[in-house]
Structure 1
Amino acid sequence: MTATKAPLWLPAADALELMQVRPQTLYASVSRGRIRAKPDATDPRRSLYHRDDVQRIAARARGRRSSEAVASEAIQWGEPVLASGVSTVAEGRLLYRGQDACALAAHATLEEVAGLLWESATPCFAAAMPAAVAHTDAVPLQAGLLALAARAATDLPSRGRSRAVLQAEAADVIGTLADALLGPAPAPPARAMPLHMRLASAWRRPRAADHLRRALVLLADHELNASTFAARVTASTGASVAACLLTGLSTLTGPLHGGASAAVQALMRNAAAIGTDAAVREWLAHDRPLAAFGHPLYPNGDVRCHALLEGIGLPPAFEELRDVGSRLLGEAVNIDFALAALAAVHKLPAGAPLTLFALARTVGWTAHVLEQQATGQLIRPRARYTGPGPGALAAAATEAPTRKPLRTASSSRG
């Protein structure tokens, strides 16, 4: 009787069973090149994983590993570091409390998603009062940071206050941020309109309203990303909601996070000047990663990108960038590409992608702030110290040569 040969390529369920890990860890191993993956011929939306790679990593994981090693790897695309019921990426899908974010983007507003993530009634993002500090000469991002800082300096700490009170305060803080980023909407009807309508009105792009709505929903939350983790750390201290959102917004401004779309826009300007192929090659030759391509949690392509670009006709320049980048990198375009394309199609302000990102993600930050506050726990990890020990310092002090004291001049020479 001939023994049945084990398949060389495994579906995700079999790979996860062998490795005994969460899907995020499997995807991270693929992104790092530790596990080879390829599309499933029977269903291109799914991937197959090389059996030998999976077995090798599974065997290594079964060995004894120190808690220090586990914690060190967890901080970068590794094992989850805390429990959360807000959102996750599983099998290439983004889920908000178990609901598919791409499906929600087809019809929901950001306010409705906030109700889902906050487990509350649908909020209205209109500040009760005008922003405490008005800076008419500030660019939108500066105005947003200043407005949140003003609230953070005066609002009460979140610790010890009810969930319902914090939810109402969060909606008001988000309204304050919206006023700072878009300019105040003084008329009551305008203040009550959904946020995507306020954006379309402020930017004078009424035809973009539905695409803006879709973008806001898709950007509302994304697991424990850098800005969300920062907001949760702040929340764990009992700080005010405004302080938590200020922390998140400050982290979001980094070029490796919310600022990635600006890099895509810069690449497009370079492509217009010297050609797409030359621009991409020049970018890569200077060891600059292409922000428009790939995402470790989506080995088969960023589903948010596809959902946002539905119904948007890509300009030829963006189509060419997608094709050239895919050929040279072997990666699909991601949400940063989609945001830059959305801004180009509707001729939005240059900072529109970051504004969309910031306003949308406040909803997710708030959900995580509420979740962290409910635990009552302080997030305080330990560092793995790599500097000199006390023995080395003592030895250095003993071996130091004796020096004569310096003479002090009788008069100052400036």
Structure 2
Amino acid sequence: MSWITAEQALAQLGTKPQTLYANVSRGRIGARPDPDDPRRSLYRQEDVERLAARQRGRRPARAVAAETIAWGEPMLETAIATVVDGHLLYRGQDTFVLAVKATLEEVASLLWQSSAPPDFGGKAQVRQPGMPAAYRTIAELAATDMPTTGRIRNVLIADAARTVSSLAGALAAPGNGPIHMRLAEQWNRPEAAEAIRRALVLLAEHELNASTFAARVTASTGAPISAAVLAGLAALSGPLHGNASQSMAGLVEEARRRGAGAAVATHLRQGQTLACFGHRLYPEGDARAPALLQAFAPPRPFAELARAGEALSGERPNIDFALAAMTAAFTLPEDAPLQIFALARSVGWIAHALEQVETGALIRPRARYMGPKPKIN
């Protein structure tokens, strides 16, 4: 792997430094500190060459092949959700309109195409609510539930409602009220209920992301609905997905000490990715973020970082930024974004599981072997 200086990268790209920093922030160009001068950064030559070739209208075959599994192939047909002109649509309905009043239960009815909102209520609650309990609860269901093969849709939707209900019982207060109210009660933050409701609606589904793909592959084997949710939970736990909002902690602390502008500038000059800014599906900015931020007043460091980040990188805050800001605004548990993400996205995972079951197809890609030459006698 080869690394080049900013000057060399800019010469190949023919762009301004701000564009180079934006490409680093978006994850398109890898960067690392220069070992000879930590104040400067080096940039991955292969990434720069790929972007330069794209701008010239041609791309190396090896670059095309390498990118097919990242924001490319495989592509699966779905009628559940898509992003069009910056708008996230659930079965054709604009989520930013749904976020004004809808509950997660109503969104589940829409995504699952059920005749009525499912019942996610329950009196049972684990001894210590939280993500460890959520994993244990869903894992036990996955080990004991029936497979999906040979069972009609209404029965599978009943399994789906029981799975989400069990997940809610591991995270939220017991009861029959909407999940957002039960989460606010569990955290003793009733004033946060409206923001939580919006977040649940906006996060319920997002096309074929990493955790949804994991859930859909699992469902394609005929595994139980709860097993698909368990697969989604496993993928969601990564720092590049459901835990992304926690990556803002260092930037927020630096903004408190030195000011937002200085914090952002330092990150960009060092070639560091600006956490929780930008999203590849939303070139003009992740519209889910302002839809959630409308529900509360972001704390001062977050408001200042939003302005400084956009001014210096050209990128706008994304939904992970909004979740981190919400957590700080209402003093929610540190992993509240992951808990909200898990409850919300479980509805989307199940929608994809149900759709995949209807296809009756197994998802089984092939691998391109790049190892030592086989020795066959």
Same fold (TM over 0.5): yes
Whether the aligned pair in 1 keeps the contact of 2:200 and 2:344 (CA below 8 Å) is: yes
- The more displaced of 306-315 and 221-230 is 306-315
Question: Segments of 4+ in structure 1 off by > 4 A?
Answer: 31-34, 53-57, 68-72, 284-287
Whether the aligned pair in 1 keeps the contact of 2:172 and 2:185 (CA below 8 Å) is: no
Question: 1-side partners of 2:65 and 2:178: how far apart?
Answer: 41
Give the partner amino acid of 1:88.
T
Whether the aligned pair in 1 keeps the contact of 2:189 and 2:330 (CA below 8 Å) is: yes
Whether the aligned pair in 1 keeps the contact of 2:171 and 2:183 (CA below 8 Å) is: no
Question: 2-side partners of 1:69 and 1:285: how far apart?
Answer: 27
- Indicate whether 1:180 and 2:170 are aligned: yes
Corresponding position of 1:4 = none
Question: 1-side partners of 2:131 and 2:269: how far apart?
Answer: 31
Deviation at 1:348, TM superposition (A): 1.2
Question: 1-side partners of 2:108 and 2:225: how far apart?
Answer: 15
- Indicate whether 1:366 and 2:360 are aligned: no
Whether the aligned pair in 2 keeps the contact of 1:124 and 1:194 (CA below 8 Å) is: no
Deviation at 1:80, TM superposition (A): 6.0
Corresponding position of 2:77 = 83
Whether the aligned pair in 2 keeps the contact of 1:75 and 1:81 (CA below 8 Å) is: no
Structure 1 residues 339 and 272, CA gap change in structure 2 (3 angstroms) = same
- Indicate whether 1:381 and 2:371 are aligned: no
Whether the aligned pair in 1 keeps the contact of 2:172 and 2:179 (CA below 8 Å) is: no
- The more displaced of 303-312 and 247-256 is 303-312
Corresponding position of 1:14 = none
Matches for 1:33-48 after TM superposition, within 5 Å:
none
Matches for 1:183-222 after TM superposition, within 5 Å:
185=174, 191-222=175-206
How many residues get paired? 329
Q: Kindly indicate whether structure 1 or structure 2 has the higher relative contact order, using CA contacts under 8 Å at least 6 residues apart.
A: 2
Corresponding position of 1:410 = none
- Indicate whether 1:161 and 2:161 are aligned: no
Q: In the alignment, which of 68, 73, 78 is matched to residue 74 of structure 1?
A: 68
- Indicate whether 1:124 and 2:124 are aligned: no
Corresponding position of 2:134 = 144
Task: For residues 339-375 of structure 1, give each alpha carbon's deviation from its aligned partner in whole angstroms, at most 9, with x where no partner exists.
Answer: 1111111121111111111100001000000000111
Q: In the alignment, which of 335, 340, 353 is matched to residue 356 of structure 1?
A: 340
Give the match's secondary structure for 2:273: coil
Corresponding position of 1:113 = 107
Whether the aligned pair in 1 keeps the contact of 2:194 and 2:295 (CA below 8 Å) is: no
Structure 1 residues 386 and 84, CA gap change in structure 2 (3 angstroms) = same
Deviation at 1:388, TM superposition (A): 0.9
Task: For residues 82-126 of structure 1, give each alpha carbon's deviation from its aligned partner in whole angstroms, at most 9, with x where no partner exists.
Answer: 100110011111000000011110111110010000000211112
Give the match's secondary structure for 2:261: helix
Give the partner amino acid of 2:83.
V
Q: With structure 2 as the length reference, what TM-score do the two structures score?
A: 0.80
Whether the aligned pair in 2 keeps the contact of 1:126 and 1:172 (CA below 8 Å) is: no
Question: 1-side partners of 2:144 and 2:130: how far apart?
Answer: 22
Corresponding position of 1:244 = 228
Greater Cα radius of gyration, structure 1 or 2: 1
CA RMSD of the aligned region, Å?
Answer: 2.7
Question: 2-side partners of 1:242 and 1:163: how far apart?
Answer: 15
Give the match's secondary structure for 1:390: coil
Question: 1-side partners of 2:269 and 2:94: how far apart?
Answer: 38
Give the partner amino acid of 2:118.
P
Unmatched tracts of structure 1, length 5 or more: 1-27, 35-52, 186-190, 395-414
Deviation at 1:32, TM superposition (A): 8.4
